[in-house]
Structure 1
Amino acid sequence: MTTNNDVQFIEIPKIKDRRGNLSVVEGDTIPFESKRVYYLYDVPGGSRRGGHCHMEQQEFLIALSGSFDVVLKDGKSKKVMTLNKPNIGLLIVDGIWRELENFSSGAVCLVMSSAVFDEADYIRNYKDFKLFKNRRTKTKVS
């Protein structure tokens, strides 16, 4: 069963150059092959994004510009992680509830996913998420 301890920051290699830095996500930078890439931007002040859990999909989030907080819940604990550097990403494993908040002005959040969009992989109601985690716990114990 996944917990907030399985979520981790991953440093993306940075090539420094006087003309500007370059970071690349390739090879084994992240532990999955990216099947979908999307980004969030122009998020109005005070707005939240996310508010769901993936049953199987993993995601890697990067603050390309600005900053935002990622609120993580594993059914037992809550953790808030701030993304604010374009060469540091956050790996969110399956089975973790996530919400994005506190977007700075001009923030851009890039998301790389381990799977293409599949609505059946989403849990969008927190009560359903808690039931999902309880079922997983009982399955692992049996």
Structure 2
Amino acid sequence: MGKELMETTLRGSELLKLEEFGDERGSLIALEALKNVPFDIKRVFYIYNTNPDSPRGFHAMIDSYQVMVCVNGSVDVVLDNGTERQTFPLSSIHQGLFVDKMIWHEMHNFSEDCILMVLTNNPYTEEDNLIGYENYLEMIK
């Protein structure tokens, strides 16, 4: 699909390299469905103005994929596929973290200036969120 991986990661996730274009006028990074984002984008949202001591997430998406890009500041994203758990520090606009459906995710250590942009393949529905780690482990068995 034209995506370039930065490194091998936890099964169910990929760290994507986002290509920068620029000249003396400035720089640009484009996110394009089915090119450097491996799905058709249906929703984009930002997490910002967070409390550094208040982690977020703690759920899995049942039928949605995500790409997370830290467009400012930094955050640690913890992903868990039921057998492996890995922390991905995000602090560069040049990388996107692909999170497959049914991957547990948590966000920790938000910098005060963090802006985390998230692209998904589905509009939001409450039914798509799997809350509770024990519920998650039961569902993936």
Could you tell me the TM-score, scaled by structure 2's length? 0.89
Distance across 1 between alignment mates of 2:20 and 2:36: 12
Residue 53 (structure 2) pairs with residue 46 (structure 1): yes
Residue 62 (structure 2) pairs with residue 74 (structure 1): no
Equivalent position of 1:138 in the other structure: none
Equivalent position of 1:58 in the other structure: 65
Residue 14 (structure 2) pairs with residue 8 (structure 1): yes
Q: CA RMSD in A?
A: 1.3
Distance across 2 between alignment mates of 1:17 and 1:69: 31
Aligned length: 132
Distance across 2 between alignment mates of 1:7 and 1:29: 14
Question: Greater Rg, structure 1 or structure 2?
Answer: 1
Which 4+ stretches in 1 moved above 4 angstroms? none
Richer in helix (by share): 1
Q: Specify the SS of the correspondent of 1:4.
A: coil
Q: Which runs of 5+ in 1 are unaligned?
A: 135-142
Residue 130 (structure 2) pairs with residue 131 (structure 1): no
Q: Specify the SS of the correspondent of 1:5.
A: coil
1:30 CA drift (Å): 1.1
Distance across 2 between alignment mates of 1:103 and 1:17: 31
Is the Cα contact below 8 Å between 2:12 and 2:81 reproduced in 1? Answer: no
Richer in strand (by share): 2
Equivalent position of 2:30 in the other structure: 24
Distance across 1 between alignment mates of 2:101 and 2:133: 15
Could you tell me the TM-score, scaled by structure 1's length? 0.88
Find the partner of 1:94 among 101, 111, 129. Answer: 101
Counterpart residue type for residue 26 of structure 2: G
Equivalent position of 2:122 in the other structure: 115
1:115 CA drift (Å): 0.2
Is the Cα contact below 8 Å between 1:36 and 1:115 reproduced in 2? Answer: yes
